Amino acid sequence: MLSRRGQPLMPCHPARARALLRKGRAVVVRQAPFVIRLKDRTRAASEVKGMQLRIDPGSKGTGLVLTDEKEEYDDHGAMVTVRRGLISVELQHRGDQIRAGMRQRAGYRRRRRKANLRHRSRRSGNRARRAGWLPPSVQHRVDTTFSLADRLCRHAPVAEIHMERVAFDTHSLSVGRRLKGTEHQRGPLTGTTIRGHLRVTWKGACAYCGVTGVPLNVEHLRPRSRGGSHRVANLVLACVPCNRAKGSNPVRIFLADRAERLAAILPQLSAPLDDAATMNATRRQLSDVLSTLGKPLHAWVGELTKANRLATRLDKTHTLDALCVGPLDHAAGDRIVRFPSHVLTAKATGRGSYARTTPDRYGFPRLLRTRAKQHFGYVTGDLVRAVVPRGKWAGTWTGRVSVRTRGQHSLATALGRINVSHRTLRLLQRGDGYGWGIRQESTASTSRKMG
């Protein structure tokens, strides 16, 4: 909620917001997240208490919760701190889509250099990268988290920011146990090479058929085309016929009729470390950009968040973890008394593509894309409301629109996509690169009040 001059005020209950709008005392500023501006209230005439923005960063999603804390007396007359969750937002990243798109682009360019087409020489690798450079799929996580945190700080009176900052020991994760001392320096390749390690592990035989005395190739269990890495846990030795026969198929499909071989290989596979590496790469960058918001920034370890979540018997979600970020003295009676029952989800969708053509599966141009992105006053991603007077889809629908040049736009609804005419649409909010929605918070956490 904003004052008449656009300054942030304390948030109110949805019923209170509906009453203000019905009486004409407020106007809608944004639909998602829903923000109103009062016409007859200034910040000086309002009681504004400081709020806290708590952030639980993640590789796939990030939880952001606006909370307030106050001191009150418990049943024994002791002063305790109670924390209330007011607004919960779950940000869903699209780093995997960005990485897949960049790999696809690299594949197109690689093919154009090798196929019988216009020659394109490879770029030299002498281009220096600036300090703090991150891959686009990783930088996206920092940018979207900062963008949403900045938006919440502009719409709510945030006084301080609390963030969970953790570092993952990828070596211990790959081994499956906590390493100590010099064990970190003794990996599986200590004193040997990859091929030598694999020869000892598989006794110089093909991992798929067991043949020996033939040339063996280093084979990826999870193919590179399916997101596999060059880790030793993802490598085996394979003869040339088995290597060609497997191709890009997953090992479970290739060895579906050879259960003994599959059972010997599967224990070698370990969980990917992509998410842990992403968190290690972005934790300092995220702290640096959040400090530019002008709010006091406090970083806390993940063990504190886990202890608070277990003490309050809450489920593990990004939003509930964000609610538990920051210290709580449970021995003294501090507790969490409320968490929102509905979570606002923000799925990063981007703002379109720079591509001028739509390629086919081989990378050749299939059709030209129009240079204009706006058609009949609407752009793909705009939040609109359609009032269809008759027909199969008669009724009122709200969702994100995908525009077409002929004016028969596509609208995403809860029942799927429908085709609507531009004449039946009314703009609610311009596209901001996010797909907004609402989901229920975990209902298994019945030990605390939901509201």
Q: Contact at 8 Å (CB) between 444 and 341?
A: no
Residue 399's nearest CA partner among 415, 389, 411, 417 is 411
Mean pLDDT of 422-428: 93
DSSP character for 229?
Answer: -
Q: How confident is the model at residue 201 (pLDDT cuts 50, 70, 90)?
A: confident
Q: DSSP letter for 381, please.
A: T
pLDDT at 89: 95
Nearest CA-CA partner of 251 in 261, 241, 188, 76 = 261
Cα–Cα dist 121/214, whole Å: 37
Q: How confident is the model at residue 446 (pLDDT cuts 50, 70, 90)?
A: very low
Kindly indicate the confidence band of residue 445, based on its pLDDT and cuts at 50, 70 and 90: low
Q: Which residues on adjacent β-strands are paired with residue 158?
A: 51
In the predicted model, what is the mean pLDDT of residues 415-433?
91
**CA-CA-CA-CA torsion sign (316, 317, 318, 323):** negative
d(CA 328, CA 300): 12
Task: Determine the straight-line distance between the first and last CA of the chain, rounded to whole angstroms.
Answer: 18
Mean pLDDT of 130-152: 93
Contact 91, 126 (CB under 8 A): no
Tokens (6 digits) for 307: 């202890």
* Burial environment of residue 274 by CB neighbours within 10 A (0 to 12, 13 to 18, 19 or more): middle
Query: Rounded to an integer, what distance in angstroms lies between the CA atom of residue 357 and that of residue 119?
Result: 20
- Confidence at residue 447, expressed as pLDDT on a 0 to 100 scale: 46
> Hey, what's the torsion of the CAs at 10, 14, 16, 17, to 10 degrees?
80
- Find, among 391, 396, 423, the residue nearest to 407 by Cα: 423
Q: What is the mean pLDDT of residues 273-289?
A: 90
Q: Are strands 357-359 and 365-368 parallel, antiparallel or unpaired?
A: antiparallel
As a whole-number percent, the residues of the chain with pLDDT over 90 amount to: 44
Q: What is the pLDDT of residues 350-404, one digit of tens each?
A: 887 788 888 887 778 888 888 888 999 999 989 999 999 988 889 999 989 999 9
Give kind and range of the element (H or E) at residue 105: helix 95-114
pLDDT for 117 equals 65
Burial grade of 117 (CB within 10 A; 0-12, 13-18, 19 or more)? exposed
Question: Which alpha helices (H) appear in 156-293, and where do they start and end?
Answer: 170-175, 194-202, 240-246, 251-254, 259-265, 274-290
